[in-house]
Structure 1
């Protein structure tokens, strides 16, 4: 019986896993051996669910004749009965050790372990987990910078390459800069290691490039332009602009921010490029002579050409840096048999440059021998979530699947399923275009080879949610109007209206409006108050775009409404609590007896009492005792011994500390399994170690859309859809690929205005923007289709944004007249509502427990605060009230102000002490940061604020230093912006200046507004440094007006 090949395009909630498991069972029922079926997906969790569902499906059918009959009908195998299903279940269980149900990474590693010699490996190899890979990278970096005596030739070459990559910009921490280079660009290098692909103008512009030719003609063009402008009848303002232009041009060099005069006219010229007709100077169009136009065009081309030449050199420098690094890494790590999953995949890619980098060129005969043996043991291929498959992954499997598709007997098969509308991993090289390319490729060769199927019926969402989804994503006209490129066309081609398979769910869907971020947060809180989902036993998700936003919003919901809101981010459980910090300080103090800070930390913590009780009074004693324990038993047993006496002193209800202790020790055990006893590696591992908060229906889950993919919730709220236009290309290296997905060239491109002037670079950017736009469509689709019963989208009102972004798409697709949207007794402003506004009132609270008491579901022991704990606050809290978001930054409101403040503080935190050389480096680095960069640079350069940045005598410096202190029985948490601590020559603090950066628009009233906050800072600094309050002086630094505001010591504290 011919089985056939099939592509399934499945919409969200339509049952992809169900279709895959049915396909697997169908193959079993038709006589396929389980071990000859390969079924691959992306995560171990998904692979486990796939396996479980197969067993459950067969077990149900084996024990129920009706279930067996339904299964036989679904998989189109008449005659399959309960006895037959029992036999299939037995076959499946017996074949478990030989099954090939797993992840792509696991399958590739299995191939490599079976064929190491054919792949150029010396023999057995180890697949590195994330931490082990990071430690190997760190060792290689250390080797690069290690020096015994004079600088070696290899190191000198590396340093020169690094200077080329940074275009001569000096950096204080080259190791950190290098680590960022490697993290950002190593994958690109391994995909395209040939130097000729990097910054090679002949590959980028094979037909030639006029930009570079103009460079040598610039000086002559400037002379001609000056002469011709005398004939243009310029007014005084225009003449002044041109004089500034020529003056700035004489001193400008590529990579340095343009002066105001040069930037003004250069920018205006690009707006009318290339004709230059209607060039505006001083708000008046200027008519240039043909000769002047020609000369100006040459000057502009020369400027762009000089910047492109710089970018070409930087790109070549980046290649040289990573090439040098890779040579050492390959010899030190890969040759020793330590590979990452990405390395393994490259080894298996036929003819890939990456494979040649890893193991030398593998002959076609060897590759064919591997494929032949794999093909001989596999008859059927099932691939899940295919929209996230990369071309590299597909290239490993292509030959094998070719054989299955072309099999003349029809007894072999290929099946793949996914949803191109959920392709949100393009940043991880997932390529949704493969879905259709593969289908067209096989059917072009042999029409009808692969059948096309669709799953559009949602078994997750109720009718109101599906109606809203259909209205937004089926609005083909709105899509074409707002997004004029290929992204909208591709989306419209693939879109099919969805149908809800669960009308009994009912529910509600609405588009709500709020002016700013605080307003959107308030609407979220009010929705939760009205619906009270946890009492009704509903699952809830609030979806956002970034982890930082998730943490901020979860904190808001806990603070304002007392909700058990959990930010589903990765928690640093070894460092986010006092116990973990003290335990790590214990290891540091034992490993480095000279680390007085770690020793003091241990002695001031409860561990100090443990030290005293065990007779450890000196650091040397701790070193001998703890390191002996570690080397004899490992980190987990050693630290377990120090934890036991601490646990006995805890309050009975301190569940949080006990939870963190268990997680800390579990992490230590995980490190022990690496076999290392290196304390520095241990501390690094524990600092980086994270865990995901466990799923619970008893909490409000605040998470990113990416983390929510594959999940479903009764109630979903989307309050974080603001942002820039959707067609926004990613930052970083530009990589151009050919029709076969191979790299053609790599370039660190200049800014967008210059790129748009070049046809080649502009076409590449347009393609990148369209790809990013399609990915954003997918992100919104994934977000909206997580909802089962109710979906509330909260965005800015129509007309606030002219960008083609999420709010504009939603407002235009769902638009209409403003209306009052009712949700129960609550009223909101909005423009779309579908379903029953009282949907939640029809749901009953969960039945009482068997003990007769219905516990409030949010009283999870992991989340409950101890009643005895000290009240907590921040220095910025005002009295008994809260600091309004709108007051945080005078002159701006809401999210814009907060974003400006965060960016500004981050920039100023990078400044240690200033000097003349500092300004040039900062100007170059901060130019890309817009208003925040301009404010920060002006602040650092201002003579009036020199005291903030200039070191006068022995001093220590705190920048963005977080602190926790107890003042007046209250736990105070905060972050110092900048504290300059004057010390004695031996380092003892004598006095301190606390500087706090503010973006208030005026000095008027600033002191009164921030006095309470600053005096909290004064008291905290005095306590932490062992100073009197009089020795700590506080100043506001107003970055807009570049003024100081001194905060006097309160009279009662004098």
Structure 2
């Protein structure tokens, strides 16, 4: 990075070179320079990145003066260079601004969050209320159809038939809407007359038929439609030597006239269809807008569109940017290569004000960071060309490069340099790849080929090679949780997971575990609910899991959802590096209201479970992550061919280009159409290279690439030209260091949990489903009215709603069957007769708290009841004896009895202790 603070800076940073580091250090530098914290805005693309960025900024600000490996931290050194200050001077500055920093809210948002704030401020201008809801989907198709008159309905039906895109039409219209595609209508475009095309075809055929009586030659004229005729050799394969003996100049002339007429016909048809599409899209926009206003709700895809709509209106534009100009003095943007055109157009006026030094304030700054080589979201509208366009639009922005890789070891960095040095090009088609340096010695790279014997499919062949690699890594002392496998589509991840599990290797995909099944997330959720709703059961759940004695915490519900959750995480002392917690915080930040967040079901899946196992994910999902040991598989499934009838791309110079694919057009020498296809093919090839670059640069210590057997010809290999080799040494993981680390973890765990090893062992035998099953049964009985016995259905519905994300239908069926058996059990009911019932009763005895499931009291008798859903008599007996001893001493009743009530699958068993 620069040795001084550059006010306007673009940072091109290759994989692992410290983009997050650079952005967080710059944010802190601005604070230490005296910038008002509420005037610094940082934008990222995901809620996860937002959470990580806030955490990184906090840590950098508060801890930059600490030592790292006996030396000043990298953040400290960078701040010293950037601000030309000594470490002591930086510490003095931090003390000066510390109170303000800790008191202020950091304005680090996703693009959508920032844009939604703008919309809320001007919601009435869009016909919305400022409390509009953000929803997943908005079904506007019914309203859209209702808007069409009879002629337009016929046009739509004809459009679908002609373009052969019945299944894709709604998806296409939605995609055009989401990308804010402006379709330019063509003047005088009308449905083309086929007469001149057919006339030129007949003239050509009439003459061509007379040139030879050969049967094979005459087959050229046996066809059912004009489209079929284009597949004949006389059109598509005229280069054959056979035709040299037959054709003459008149043949060529009539053929050329026919092809020219065909070209004009299909251009007219395309123009006609584009005009129809423009009309239909306009109706769809009207329908969507009406539905948004009616429901006072926007989808995520609506947010940028509505924001752009606001700033496109001259009446609003000046006021909006004047307001923004008043509080944004410093803008920082992460992963700029993923910016789409709408985002760029919204932000460009803000950037222009910042870099011009004009407007309400002086002393402003603008910074953005990204890597065009990691642009893999073109299908979402990301345009890597915008990274360079911004430099071209604003020459006062200085460009710098980060060329040191802090993630991967040297062997991996050198290999990636070798593979990609001639794969990236600039706009002048010149090689454009900055070789990376590495500061970490060592590393290991292995490229191997799968073997595909007969009757073995590609997934199995690759899976066998994966098993060999995993075994090799395990022998080096590496854990399964330190291994990741990258595939190309979700289906391949599922198939690889199933293969590994059949071979006794635990593996997880992103979709295999519900996020709410992760215990850290569940603890956070239950504690939040306990604090807001004063829910005793939720508090009991948290305390029982953490072995703590927490009480309710008062929350300021006017604060942001993420802010409240971070506060609770601090109280619970949960691990903020937990990937499941990060995902949950990302999800939570999409809510504006904490109560809505608590009651809206989270249906997300976890990236991994709590247990150790190999993680499997797609390359697209791996972006932004890093892995100790990485296995990258070749493609295992055939790519879906690019056969969409409707094609649209955005060109920075020409704007939106819309084309209709037709199989015959490749024979018509339509330069504009062919140039469009070539550009589209080039973009797809660039995306493929970028994906490969992202995949290979995720590895830290070892990288394995499994290429497909060269005899496999079904589809092209991604690694066809990769030579099989081994580079470097796969090192043993230091065992002493690992043992020490494990000892430290055990000591901390035992101190925190305050339970003996036997209890831990027993808990580990329980699956999460068993835990939730037991909790559900206890909670049902806690709320059940044993006197009136009239709220069974109410409790049943309450338990179903609460646990529907943790238990399946079969488990619920079993649960309610057991409960019915218990409540109808004669011996159980005798225990409760003529007793005062105290449920989930907490008592304190010998300085420890105990929680009884049920305490049934009469004047002279106390009955303790403890429910269990699984037999473990010895442990349960000891537990209940402690309860009995405590109640005897505390209540001093004439008689104290204790019962274990086993609510089992097929019977209720009551045992007196």
Provide the TM-score with structure 1 as the length reference. 0.57
Tell me how far 1:120 sits from its aligned partner.
3.8
Cα distance in 1 between the residues matched to 2:607 and 2:627? 17
Partner residue, 2:491? 548
Partner residue, 2:696? 784
Tell me how far 1:802 sits from its aligned partner.
11
Cα distance in 2 between the residues matched to 1:733 and 1:168? 11
Indicate conservation of the 8 Å contact 1:39/1:102, yes or no. yes
1:158-169 alignment to 2 at 5 Å? 159-167=153-161
Verify: 1:440 aligned to 2:392, yes or no. Answer: yes
Partner residue, 2:627? 713
Partner residue, 1:242? 220
Indicate conservation of the 8 Å contact 1:423/1:775, yes or no. yes
Cα distance in 1 between the residues matched to 2:52 and 2:515? 28
Tell me how far 1:54 sits from its aligned partner.
1.4
Verify: 1:114 aligned to 2:7, yes or no. Answer: no
1:979-990 alignment to 2 at 5 Å? none
Cα distance in 1 between the residues matched to 2:272 and 2:334? 42
**Structure 2: segments with no counterpart, 5+ residues:** 453-457, 518-534, 539-582, 748-756, 771-808, 811-913
Distance 1:689 1:201, change over 3 A: farther
Tell me how far 1:182 sits from its aligned partner.
3.1
Partner-residue secondary structure (3-state), 1:220: helix
Tell me how far 1:160 sits from its aligned partner.
2.0
Tell me how far 1:233 sits from its aligned partner.
3.5
Verify: 1:735 aligned to 2:648, yes or no. Answer: yes
Partner-residue secondary structure (3-state), 1:78: coil
Tell me how far 1:777 sits from its aligned partner.
0.9
Partner-residue secondary structure (3-state), 1:460: coil
- Cα deviation, 1:173-213, whole Å, max 9, x if unaligned, reads x9xx5xx533332241465576643xx4879xxxxx9x968
Indicate conservation of the 8 Å contact 1:515/1:797, yes or no. yes
- Cα deviation, 1:4-31, whole Å, max 9, x if unaligned, reads 2111111111110100011111111221
1:892-971 alignment to 2 at 5 Å? none
Tell me how far 1:574 sits from its aligned partner.
11
Candidates 440, 447, 451, aligned match of 1:502: 440
Verify: 1:35 aligned to 2:38, yes or no. Answer: yes
Indicate conservation of the 8 Å contact 1:5/1:451, yes or no. yes
Partner residue, 1:767? 679
Verify: 1:514 aligned to 2:429, yes or no. Answer: no
Partner residue, 2:420? 473
Cα distance in 1 between the residues matched to 2:647 and 2:263? 17
Partner residue, 2:406? 459
Distance 1:194 1:450, change over 3 A: closer
Calculate the aligned-residue CA RMSD, in Å: 4.6
Distance 1:489 1:530, change over 3 A: farther
Tell me how far 1:805 sits from its aligned partner.
5.7
Tell me how far 1:839 sits from its aligned partner.
2.0
Cα distance in 1 between the residues matched to 2:158 and 2:675? 27
Partner-residue secondary structure (3-state), 1:552: helix
Cα distance in 1 between the residues matched to 2:258 and 2:759? 76
Cα distance in 2 between the residues matched to 1:405 and 1:733? 40
- Cα deviation, 1:444-466, whole Å, max 9, x if unaligned, reads xxxxx222211121111111211
Candidates 498, 507, 510, aligned match of 1:568: 510
- Cα deviation, 1:797-830, whole Å, max 9, x if unaligned, reads 558669876223xx2xx44xxxxxxxxxxxxxxx
Verify: 1:557 aligned to 2:488, yes or no. Answer: no
- Cα deviation, 1:498-521, whole Å, max 9, x if unaligned, reads 122211xx2210211124513222
1:634-1033 alignment to 2 at 5 Å? 689-694=603-608, 698-721=612-635, 731=644, 733-740=646-653, 742-743=655-656, 745-751=657-663, 754=666, 757-797=669-709, 806-808=718-720, 811=721, 814-815=722-723, 831-836=724-729, 838-840=730-732, 846-847=738-739, 848-849=742-743
Partner residue, 2:256? 297
Verify: 1:216 aligned to 2:201, yes or no. Answer: no
Tell me how far 1:437 sits from its aligned partner.
1.2
Cα distance in 1 between the residues matched to 2:694 and 2:245? 50
Partner residue, 1:376? 326
Distance 1:362 1:568, change over 3 A: closer
Partner-residue secondary structure (3-state), 2:42: strand
Distance 1:461 1:752, change over 3 A: farther
- Cα deviation, 1:303-335, whole Å, max 9, x if unaligned, reads 565555555555555444444343333223235
Distance 1:95 1:230, change over 3 A: closer
Verify: 1:53 aligned to 2:56, yes or no. Answer: yes
Partner-residue secondary structure (3-state), 1:369: helix
Partner-residue secondary structure (3-state), 1:128: strand
Verify: 1:525 aligned to 2:467, yes or no. Answer: yes
Candidates 17, 38, 41, aligned match of 2:20: 17
Distance 1:270 1:121, change over 3 A: same
Cα distance in 2 between the residues matched to 1:775 and 1:556? 29
Tell me how far 1:159 sits from its aligned partner.
3.4
Distance 1:793 1:201, change over 3 A: farther
Tell me how far 1:166 sits from its aligned partner.
1.2
Candidates 232, 235, 241, aligned match of 1:269: 235
Distance 1:170 1:344, change over 3 A: closer
Cα distance in 2 between the residues matched to 1:462 and 1:711? 16
Partner-residue secondary structure (3-state), 2:738: coil
How many residues align structurally?
Answer: 679
Partner residue, 2:287? 328
Cα distance in 2 between the residues matched to 1:697 and 1:417? 36
Verify: 1:229 aligned to 2:232, yes or no. Answer: no
Tell me how far 1:441 sits from its aligned partner.
2.1
Partner residue, 2:356? 406
Partner residue, 2:910? none
- Cα deviation, 1:100-122, whole Å, max 9, x if unaligned, reads 211111111111222334x4445
Tell me how far 1:832 sits from its aligned partner.
2.3
Distance 1:81 1:330, change over 3 A: closer
Distance 1:110 1:574, change over 3 A: closer
Distance 1:365 1:501, change over 3 A: same
Cα distance in 1 between the residues matched to 2:63 and 2:182? 56
Cα distance in 2 between the residues matched to 1:674 and 1:56? 26
Indicate conservation of the 8 Å contact 1:59/1:86, yes or no. no
Partner residue, 1:347? 306
Provide the TM-score with structure 2 as the length reference. 0.65
Partner-residue secondary structure (3-state), 1:375: helix
Partner residue, 2:901? none
Cα distance in 2 between the residues matched to 1:53 and 1:572? 27
**Structure 1: segments with no counterpart, 5+ residues:** 146-151, 204-208, 350-354, 444-448, 481-486, 576-636, 641-662, 677-681, 816-830, 867-963, 966-1054
Cα distance in 2 between the residues matched to 1:314 and 1:675? 48
Cα distance in 2 between the residues matched to 1:437 and 1:308? 32
Cα distance in 1 between the residues matched to 2:172 and 2:439? 44
Indicate conservation of the 8 Å contact 2:445/2:704, yes or no. yes
Tell me how far 1:794 sits from its aligned partner.
0.8
Partner residue, 2:840? none
